[in-house]
């Protein structure tokens, strides 16, 4: 079973109470359960983490780089300014899927730029929690394809 890190940035533990008109009414615990359940269906061992600390996020990315683990990442506010996170992500040698619950392109202008998108395998945004399901499906497909082709 392939291990996948699902990493979440600032304020995402506040899901369900933070701007429910943007992020919905489901909690971070609901998101965690959805990701783990999706992982089981896809034969992925999913580990969900959340931090408000940029340094901790970078340490987790270094762990993923060292262990060649796929990452599903919702960088949250780090999306728009964290060049340190972007540089850490550039070290990954496994799939990286950037996810967003909302669609940043339809929100405030400062949210339109992602400094991490350029090092991601792909980005999925705007589908609510389904963005994570789609990202995990993409990771499973990419990993399976790599196993088939050696």
Per residue in 16-50, pLDDT tens? 887 777 667 789 999 999 999 999 999 999 999 99
pLDDT tens figures, 41-97: 999 999 999 999 999 999 999 999 999 999 999 999 999 889 999 999 999 999 999
Rounded to two decimals, the pTM is 0.93
Q: Between the CA atoms of 25, 120, 93 and 3, what dihedral angle is there, to the nearest 10 degrees?
A: 20
Q: Is 80 annotated as a binding residue?
A: yes
**Residues β-bridged to residue 48:** 6
Fold for the domain defined by 2-149: Rossmann fold (3.40.50)
Per-domain boundaries in the chain: 2-149
Portion of the chain with pLDDT greater than 90, in percent: 78
pLDDT of residue 23: 66
Residue 135 predicted with pLDDT over 90: yes
pLDDT of residue 59: 98
Beta strands in 1-150 (DSSP E): 2-8, 44-50, 71-74, 96-100, 122-125
Q: Which are the catalytic amino acids?
A: 23, 100
Query: Which is nearest to 104 in space by CA: 88, 72, 71, 81?
Result: 81
Portion of the chain with pLDDT greater than 70, in percent: 96
Q: Is 74 annotated as a binding residue?
A: yes
Q: Is 101 annotated as a binding residue?
A: yes
Counting Cα atoms < 13 Å in the Cβ hemisphere of 123 gives 20
Query: Which is nearest to 22 in space by CA: 89, 119, 106?
Result: 106
């Amino acid at each position: 079973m392939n291990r996948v890190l699902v990493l979440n940035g600032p304020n995402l533990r506040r899901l369900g109470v933070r701007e429910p008109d943007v992020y919905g009414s489901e909690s971070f615990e609901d998101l965690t359960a959805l990701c783990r359940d999706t992982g089981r269906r896809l034969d992925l061992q999913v580990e969900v983490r959340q931090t408000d600390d940029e340094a901790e996020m970078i340490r987790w990315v270094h762990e993923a780089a060292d262990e060649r683990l796929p990452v599903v990442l919702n960088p949250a506010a780090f999306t728009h300014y964290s060049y340190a996170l972007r540089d850490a992500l550039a070290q990954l040698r496994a799939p990286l899927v950037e996810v967003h619950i909302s669609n940043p392109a339809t929100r405030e202008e400062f949210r339109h730029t992602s400094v991490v998108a350029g090092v991601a395998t792909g980005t999925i945004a705007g589908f609510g929690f389904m963005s994570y399901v789609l990202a995990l499906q993409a990771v499973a497909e990419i990993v399976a394809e790599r196993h088939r082709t050696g």
